[in-house]
């Protein structure tokens, strides 16, 4: 019998511990598939953040390290500079990357560090139970914006992909979603391009992945996918924001 | 043959680090240690298989050290007091992850932005942990440029041996001072193999991972016990100090770093006036030389601790003396260096 589907080698056999309907599992799988397809699993070092995906070190079957909150790009810089032949990626949420780690992500991108960043934007803090993230939408209710995010006092949601695409050292940036199969296929392509860009030594690459957090959004998984498409995508347009010709 | 040269303290650290095999430096500019960052830039940017990165902040610099150390290379950062405060997050993580690295603190006057003149007011921060959680750094306190150089090299060996960060706790003065130094040939020592835990890609082996946490409290407690065991070993095997004129002394000065250097002038000047002073100079601030202090307090009943702080190491001296002798304190702070004449005046107060 022909085998038509199997678990990527770059994932361990440990079952995901993420909430039902959360997109971390899909994102993990896509990253693992890309590592498998490029044959780089054995020279990859991943950096996991503080947040729900702090447990990514359990699920990826490659060398892994956990950074302090927001500092994953700096840790990745240290690794890549010490072992330039390795493939280095960070996997960070929106609180980690777009709030406490803004200095690290901006300067790592600006130095053109040859690493790949997988940025999960689900518009909320997951691990701590649903507080406002820098990416929380205007009017969105969270534990710390109980009357909805008021831009007058809480600012507007940060568009990370657009912001970082202005930096010259950046090789590849795109924003994708995972709420339906067509989007997942596109996300896979973007993640492949990001790693390809690193393998070819082009410089900094980042894929922003719009994701759901049904638990803290207070929605079912299906409702969450719908909410993402109706509310997040209009504010966070999908597409490529920077592509070196050689990689596209 | 040993090479002799004239070097500024901060540059001597850089040269010593590179000769000790540290080819990965990450730092952020701050007075009074910038010469070290500049020295590393000048040397490492021209070397193969080496890296110098001017980080965006001290938070990032220490995290870069964490990443590099995880791959098994010798790595370091340096700063001065306010910058070291920012590094405490990363230092605590590195300790928990049990990685070796070297951190240099050329202390300046504090608190706050303080002053840019020399200080010793980071003693508590350096020796008692500094960041969150139960831990210590291996803390080495040089009192000459030669010793700065030697201890820098030792720091890398000690960090590797105990898989724990080591700190050179200098002061602005020692970093800025120029003295003749020698790079002596060093004995090869056996250090533990890093192969079992470094992150280099999992080719031909199971994956390695380095995580500075464990959500199972019993497992986290076990890790704490393991880390404490290293500190017990350090206390047993790595204590270093210098003593001067302990026999027949009427009073013992306890001082480290540049203050110990001043104390030596005090001793010779006091002698001219017929006053017999001894000195205990801790070289390792952690592990602290409590045994020699305790033993001395059985024989000599007057101590004077002199620091460029409002009284920090004096607490460790009191613990070691444990009530067996009188422990007095003289301190100057904020960047002020105690004059030998002031110390002698202070001594005379207690010998009346």
Q: What is the pTM of this model?
A: 0.97
DSSP state of A200: T
Q: Which of A65, A113, A127 to mutate to test the interface with B (most CBs of B within 10 A)?
A: A65
CA closest to B50 among chain A residues: A82
| A135-185 confidence digits (pLDDT tens) | 999 999 999 999 999 999 999 999 999 999 999 999 999 999 999 999 999
From chain B, the residues in CB contact with A76 under 8 A are 67
| Mean pLDDT of chain B, nearest integer | 97
- Placement of tokens 């002073």 in the chain: B277
Q: pLDDT band at B248, cuts 50/70/90?
A: confident
| Coil, helix or strand at residue B253 | strand
As for the ipTM of the complex, it is: 0.96
| B59-112 confidence digits (pLDDT tens) | 999 999 999 999 999 999 999 999 999 999 999 999 999 999 999 999 999 999
**Quick check: B40 contacting A, CB < 8 Å?**
no
| pLDDT of the residue at A1 | 85
| A190-201 confidence digits (pLDDT tens) | 999 999 999 999
The minimum CA-CA distance between A248 and chain B, rounded to whole Å, is: 28
What residues contact residue B96 under an 8 Å CB cut-off, 6+ apart? B133, B135, B212, B213, B223, B227
> Would you call B207 and A62 a contact, using CB atoms and an 8 Å cutoff?
yes
From chain A, the residues in CB contact with B211 under 8 A are 48, 57, 64-66
Q: Is the pLDDT of residue B1 over 80?
A: no
Question: Cα(B256)–Cα(B313) distance, rounded to whole angstroms?
Answer: 9
> Would you call B71 and A54 a contact, using CB atoms and an 8 Å cutoff?
no
Specify which residues B282 forms β-bridges with: B241
Residue (of B173, B187, B191) closest to B74 by Cα position: B191
What is the 3 state secondary structure string of A76-102? Answer: HHHHHHHCCCCEEEEEEEHHHHHHHCH
| Candidates B51, B64, B213; nearest CB to A66 | B213
From chain A, the residues in CB contact with B60 under 8 A are 71, 74, 77, 103-104, 107
> Would you call A106 and B56 a contact, using CB atoms and an 8 Å cutoff?
yes
Q: Is the pLDDT of residue A246 over 60?
A: no
CA angle, residues A73, A207, A230, in degrees to nearest 5: 130
Q: pLDDT band at B3, cuts 50/70/90?
A: confident
| Candidates A66, A83, A107; nearest CB to B71 | A83
Residue (of B68, B141, B57) closest to B100 by Cα position: B68
Residues 28-67 of A with CB under 8 A from B: 41-45, 47-48, 54, 57, 60-67
Q: pLDDT band at B219, cuts 50/70/90?
A: very high
Sign of CA dihedral B33, B38, B41, B46: negative
Question: Cα(B155)–Cα(B252) distance, rounded to whole angstroms?
Answer: 28
Q: Is the pLDDT of residue A248 over 90?
A: no
Average pLDDT over residues B179-206: 94
**Quick check: B98 contacting A, CB < 8 Å?**
no
DSSP state of A42: G
**Quick check: B45 contacting A, CB < 8 Å?**
no
> Would you call A42 and B203 a contact, using CB atoms and an 8 Å cutoff?
yes
| A93-109 confidence digits (pLDDT tens) | 999 999 999 999 999 99
What residues contact residue A154 under an 8 Å CB cut-off, 6+ apart? A132, A145
The minimum CA-CA distance between B102 and chain A, rounded to whole Å, is: 14
Tokens encoding B156: 């890398």
The minimum CA-CA distance between A153 and chain B, rounded to whole Å, is: 27
Q: pLDDT band at B339, cuts 50/70/90?
A: very high
| B263-292 confidence digits (pLDDT tens) | 999 999 999 999 999 999 999 999 999 999
CA closest to A60 among chain B residues: B207
Task: Tell me if the bond preceding B111 is cis, omega within 30° of 0.
Answer: yes
| pLDDT of the residue at A128 | 95
- Spatial contact of B287 and B234, defined as CB atoms under 8 Å apart: yes
CB atoms within 10 A of CB A139: 12
| A189-235 confidence digits (pLDDT tens) | 999 999 999 999 999 999 999 999 999 999 999 999 999 999 999 99
Average pLDDT over residues B180-205: 94
- Placement of tokens 């719908």 in the chain: A226
| Mean pLDDT of chain A, nearest integer | 96
- Spatial contact of B341 and B331, defined as CB atoms under 8 Å apart: no
> Would you call A82 and B67 a contact, using CB atoms and an 8 Å cutoff?
yes
> Would you call B200 and A79 a contact, using CB atoms and an 8 Å cutoff?
no
| Candidates A42, A47, A104; nearest CB to B202 | A42
From chain A, the residues in CB contact with B55 under 8 A are 74, 107
Q: pLDDT band at A245, cuts 50/70/90?
A: low
Question: Cα(B348)–Cα(B32) distance, rounded to whole angstroms?
Answer: 34
Q: What percent of chain B has pLDDT over 70?
A: 99
Question: Cα(B221)–Cα(B262) distance, rounded to whole angstroms?
Answer: 44
CB atoms within 10 A of CB A1: 3
Average pLDDT over residues A70-88: 98
Average pLDDT over residues B322-347: 97
Question: Cα(B153)–Cα(B158) distance, rounded to whole angstroms?
Answer: 9
Residue (of A131, A107, A140) closest to B59 by Cα position: A107
DSSP B267-306: HHHHHHTT--EEEEEESEEES--HHHHHHHHHH--EEEEE
| pLDDT of the residue at B281 | 98
Q: pLDDT band at A117, cuts 50/70/90?
A: very high
Q: pLDDT band at A247, cuts 50/70/90?
A: very low
| B109-132 confidence digits (pLDDT tens) | 999 999 999 999 999 999 999 999
């Amino acid at each position: 019998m022909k085998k038509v589907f199997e678990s990527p080698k770059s994932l361990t056999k440990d079952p995901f511990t993420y909430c039902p309907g959360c997109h971390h599992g899909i994102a993990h799988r896509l990253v693992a598939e890309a590592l498998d397809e490029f044959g780089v699993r054995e020279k990859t070092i991943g950096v996991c953040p503080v947040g729900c995906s702090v447990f990514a070190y359990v699920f990826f079957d490659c060398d892994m390290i956990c950074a302090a909150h927001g500092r994953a790009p700096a840790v990745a810089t240290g690794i890549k500079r010490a072992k330039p032949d390795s493939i280095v990626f960070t996997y960070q949420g929106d609180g980690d990357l777009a709030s406490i780690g803004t200095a690290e992500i901006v300067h790592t991108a600006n130095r053109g560090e040859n690493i790949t960043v997988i940025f999960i934007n689900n518009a909320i803090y997951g691990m701590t139970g649903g507080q406002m993230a820098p990416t929380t939408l205007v009017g969105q209710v969270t534990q710390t914006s109980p009357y909805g995010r008021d831009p007058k006092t809480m600012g507007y949601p940060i568009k990370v992909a657009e912001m970082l695409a202005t930096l010259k050292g950046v090789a590849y940036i795109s924003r994708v979603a995972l709420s339906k199969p067509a989007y997942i296929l596109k996300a896979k392509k973007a993640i492949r391009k990001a790693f390809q860009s690193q393998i070819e030594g082009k410089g900094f690459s980042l894929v922003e992945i719009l994701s759901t957090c049904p638990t803290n959004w207070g929605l079912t998984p299906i409702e969450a996918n719908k909410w993402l498409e109706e509310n997040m995508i209009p504010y966070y347009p999908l597409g490529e924001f920077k592509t070196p010709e050689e990689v596209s | 043959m040993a090479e002799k040269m004239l070097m500024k303290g901060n540059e001597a650290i850089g040269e010593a680090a590179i000769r000790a095999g540290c080819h990965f430096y990450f730092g952020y500019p701050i007075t009074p240690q910038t010469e070290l960052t500049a020295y590393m830039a000048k040397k490492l940017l021209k070397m193969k298989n080496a890296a110098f990165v001017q980080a965006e902040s001290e938070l990032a610099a220490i995290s870069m050290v964490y990443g590099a150390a995880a791959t098994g290379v010798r790595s370091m950062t340096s700063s001065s007091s306010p910058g070291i405060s920012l590094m405490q997050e990363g230092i605590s993580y590195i300790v928990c992850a049990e990685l070796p690295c070297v951190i240099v603190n050329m202390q300046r006057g504090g608190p706050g932005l303080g002053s840019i003149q020399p200080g010793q007011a980071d003693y508590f921060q350096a020796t008692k942990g500094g960041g969150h959680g139960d831990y210590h750094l291996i803390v080495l306190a040089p009192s000459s440029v030669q010793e700065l150089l030697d201890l820098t090299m030792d720091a890398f060996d000690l960090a590797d041996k105990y898989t724990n960060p080591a700190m050179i706790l200098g002061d602005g003065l020692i970093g800025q001072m120029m003295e003749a130094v020698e790079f002596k040939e060093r004995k090869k020592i056996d250090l533990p193999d890093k192969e079992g835990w470094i992150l280099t890609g999992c080719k031909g082996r199971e994956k390695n991972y380095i995580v500075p946490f464990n959500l199972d409290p019993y497992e986290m407690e076990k890790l704490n016990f393991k880390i404490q065991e290293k500190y017990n070993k350090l206390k047993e095997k790595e204590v270093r100090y210098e003593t001067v004129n302990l026999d027949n002394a009427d009073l013992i000065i306890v001082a480290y770093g540049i203050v110990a250097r001043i104390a030596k002038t005090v001793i010779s000047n006091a002698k001219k006036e017929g006053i017999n002073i001894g000195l205990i100079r801790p070289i390792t601030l952690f592990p602290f030389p409590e045994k020699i202090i305790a033993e001395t307090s059985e024989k000599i009943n007057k101590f004077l601790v002199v620091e460029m702080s409002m009284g920090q190491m004096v607490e460790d001296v009191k613990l070691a003396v444990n009530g067996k002798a009188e422990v007095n304190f003289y301190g100057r702070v904020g960047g002020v260096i105690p004059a030998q004449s002031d110390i002698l005046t202070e001594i005379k107060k207690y010998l009346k």
